Structure 1
Amino acid sequence: MEGPILMHPPHGIQVDAPGRAGGCGGGRIWLVAGTGEGPPLARELLARGWGLKVSLVSRAAALAYGAHPRLELAVGAIGGSDGPAAGVAAELADAGQRGAPYAWVIDATHPFATRISAALADGCAARSQPLLRLLRPDLNAPGAQPLDDLAGLGRLCRPGERLLLAIGARRLAEAVAASPGVLHHARLLPQGDALATALAAGLPPQRLAPLRPGGDGRIERALCRQWQIDTVLCRRSGGANEERWHRICAALGVRLLLLERPGEPGRVEALPLEQLLQRLDESGRDG
């Protein structure tokens, strides 16, 4: 199995001294995250005295974390070709064998990243490894229309409607098949496999926008105007991307459909940010 790429603090970068950290930490945490809540959560945990290993999918995501003497970044899919279940088991076993087990594992992945969340839940349960799940908030913004499942998309769209799909590449084919007669457009990441998936789903190149989400949404607003979008479909992720689409659609008078997020693993303690930090502080004091 090919292991992840480990990235340590580069020479020449000023970092906080370990002795200046406050809080009740001192143990090690394995944080599985991305570029949304991950970087600020990592900074907060480091400030509270925890040592961190952060697993990330891409080198681009790693750039958001900076450097710190108690921070280790591992870049690459957990488990590689063997799959996340094998990767989680191997990581936990290796930490134990090195005499440096994790006090906690924190799952701060995207709410729709169900495969890795399930692997973390199963792997931690098998080893009695304490696990916390960062629970994103429900934005509860008015005006958006919920969609329980992509299979029902066609019932909410009329023939000829201009629909912008902002749900990532993996389920584009499913969304297109569920809404025949609709003029589909897509905003997706600028990656080769994402573009190949979109083209295979039947979306023409002139209706694809490969770009990374972020900023104030001006590019997305321009796309909606240029394509004369009637409806946007995004995921109810509870993050900055969803919040951005609420603002854009409200400003342009465009209908917003929200694909409901999957349920959290039932056996995992899922907490909002402040409660999660409090739980860690309590465990540090108890330890």
Structure 2
Amino acid sequence: MQNQGNCYKNVWILSGTSDGPIVANRLLQLNYSVFASVLTYKAGQAYIENPKLHIITGKLKNKDQIINFINKNKITCVVDATHPFAVIISKNLSQACKDINIPLLLFERKSLINNTNNFFYIDNLKDIKDVDLANKNILLAIGSRFLNDTANYYMNRKANVFTRVLPTYESITKAFGSCIKNSNIAILEPSKNNQSILEKKLCDFWEIDYVLCRESGGYSQKNWETIVSGSKMKLFLVKRPKVKNDYAYSFNQHQNLINHIIQNY
């Protein structure tokens, strides 16, 4: 269905490579103009080419920058589908949209965790307690921002620390600049094919005992759940932060989010 009335309606989506392209593609089919904010050039390649799609690359520094972007591009509504742990940008988006009365739609992935005896929720990256880590192999799949500090903590607990980081300049630089041995660093994208999960081969090769990751709700978390389930390994999931947002509408299904945009904007 093409709706010519939507040709002037500009939707701004802030997302990674999983959810943003799905929502953007459908809105483009309905003749919306879509602005998609991503952190890297590579992330932008996940979106299809379309004359009504505008890719914006890089970090947004503050609330004022967000407000200026909304006003300059006549944005009708904003979709926050950023990573669950990207709390700073979510707070800035919420405050900016509230200040200028622009609708904010929050997309939150469902948590995928199953009830098994080797999955554990923890409150923060250094919250693996009551476990003797001496001479045990722990794999950190937590991104690069807090990698060195977290690795140092578990190394002080006598664990052998390994990591998997994304193939981006920032991640690679921080990984090889950390206290982790170079031979204990793997650079790869999270697998999207359930039939061939590279992370499993990595765990087998390194003889991993424990995996530490974040409760993102994305395919990376799903991979670790699949790998650890039924194995002798243990999976520790850092709970996603709770960001109070009484201004945004919240959705956890792509179609419900899209339907809301179609019906209201």
Q: TM-score, normalised by structure 2?
A: 0.88
Q: In the alignment, does 2:69 pair up with 1:88?
A: no
Shift of 1:23: 9.9
1:55 and 2:33 equivalent? no
Tell me by how many angstroms 1:89 deviates. Answer: 2.3
Tell me if the contact between 2:191 and 2:197 (Cα under 8 Å) persists in the aligned partners.
no
Q: 2:46 is matched with which residue?
A: 64
Assess, with a 3 A threshold, how the Cα gap between structure 1 residues 107 and 165 changes in structure 2: closer, same or farther: same
CA displacement at 1:182 relative to structure 2: 1.1
Aligned pair 1:111/2:84, yes or no? Answer: yes
Equivalent residue for 1:205?
182
* 1:250 equivalent among 204, 229, 250: 229
Residue 152 of structure 1 aligns with which residue?
Answer: 127
Q: Which of 199, 214, 219 does residue 198 from structure 2 map onto?
A: 219
Out of 96, 99, 111, the position equivalent to 1:126 is: 99
Of 130, 136, 141, the residue aligned with 2:114 is: 141
Q: Which amino acid is the alignment partner of residue 207 of structure 2? A: Q
Q: Any runs of at least 4 consecutive aligned residues in structure 1 with deviations exceeding 6 A, and if so which? A: none
- Tell me the amino acid that sits aligned with residue 205 of structure 2: Q
> What is the rounded CA distance, in whole Å, between the counterparts of 2:152 and 2:130 in structure 1?
12
- Structure with bigger helix share is 1
SS in 2 for 1:65: coil
Structural RMSD (CA): 2.1
Q: Is the 8 A contact 1:134 1:272 kept in 2?
A: yes
Q: Is the 8 A contact 2:113 2:225 kept in 1?
A: no
Secondary structure of residue in 2 paired with 1:153: coil
1:64-105: per-residue Cα shift (whole Å, max 9, x none)?
A: 111123211122223xxxx2434212202322xxxxx22110
Q: Distance in 2 between matches of 1:169 and 1:240?
A: 18
Quick one: distance in 2 between partners of 1:59 and 1:269?
29
Partner of 1:272: 252
Q: In the alignment, is the contact (CA less than 8 A) between 1:117 and 1:265 conserved in 2?
A: no
Deviation, structure 1 residue 22? 5.2
**Structure 2 counterpart of 1:166:** 141
**Aligned 8 A contact 2:128 2:236 in 1:** no
Distance across 1 between alignment mates of 2:132 and 2:142: 16
The share of aligned pairs that are identical, in percent, is: 27
CA distance in 2, matches of 1:181, 1:154: 14
**Corresponding residue for residue 4 of structure 1:** none
Gaps of 5+ in 2: none
Distance 2:129 2:150 in 1: 9
Distance 1:68 1:191 in 2: 25
User: Conserved in 2, the CA contact under 8 Å of 1:34 and 1:56?
Assistant: yes
Task: Determine if contact 1:161/1:230 at 8 Å carries over to the other structure.
Answer: yes
Distance in 1 between residues matched to 2:214 and 2:232, nearest whole Å: 19
Deviation at 1:275, TM superposition (A): 2.8
Q: Note the alpha carbon deviations across 1:190-239, whole angstroms, 9 max, x for none.
A: 23432332344310001000112233353211110110001111111111
Residues 24 and 248 from structure 1, CA distance in 2 versus in 1: closer, same or farther, beyond 3 angstroms?
A: farther
Query: Which residue is 2:262 aligned to?
Result: 281
